[in-house]
Amino acid sequence: DVQMTQSPSSLSASVGDRVTITCRASQSISRYLNWYQQKPGKAPRLLIYATSNLQSGVPSRFSGSGSGTDFSLTISRLQPEDIATYYCQQSHGTFGGGTKVEIK
């Protein structure tokens, strides 16, 4: 199985900061990488699919990049409503361990 490793596991940033979360696959997954946001007690929400495609309704401050084994999710200007845990996932496969984003 492909292993997905996210870093950091948690971060604290100020409103308006640029935030980047990375995800590394144990072997190449081409561009089959998705990002989800999860708030407590809720189902995950799709943000980005196939590495860089913004899901409908997701604010443009979210963006994704990468290919092969190294990927990243960037929030250009952190907002209070972005407080959540973020997960990467190889399409129809393993999820990363999550990155908890908090406001400083």
Partner 1 sequence: QVQLQQSGPGLVRPSQTLSIACVISGDSVSSNSAAWNWIRQSPSRGLEWLGRTYFRSKWYSEYAESLKSRIIINADSSKNQFSLQLSSVTPEDTAVYYCARDDFTSGATLDYWGQGTLVTVSS
Q: Does residue 80 have a cis peptide bond before it, meaning omega lies within 30 degrees of 0?
A: no
Buried b (16+ CB within 10 A) or exposed e, 38-73: eeeeeebebbbbebeeeeeebeeebbbebeebebbb
Give whichever of 17 and 32 is closer to partner 1, judged by the CB atom: 32
Q: Is 89 in the site for partner 1 (CB under 8 A)?
A: yes
Left if phi > 0, otherwise alpha if psi is -120 to 50, otherwise beta: which for 52?
Answer: alpha
Minimal distance, residue 16 CB to partner 1, in Å:
29
Residue 69 binds to partner 1 (criterion: CB under 8 A): no
Kindly state the number of chain residues that form the binding site for partner 1, as judged by CB under 8 A: 21
Among 2, 15, 50, 103, binds partner 1 (CB under 8 A): 50
Of 36 and 71, the one with the shorter C-beta distance to partner 1 is 36
**Closest separation in Å from C-beta 15 to partner 1:** 27
Q: Does residue 37 belong to the site contacting partner 1 (CB under 8 A)?
A: no
Q: Which residues bind partner 1 (CB under 8 A)?
A: 1, 34, 36, 43-46, 49-50, 53, 55-56, 87, 89, 91-95, 97-98
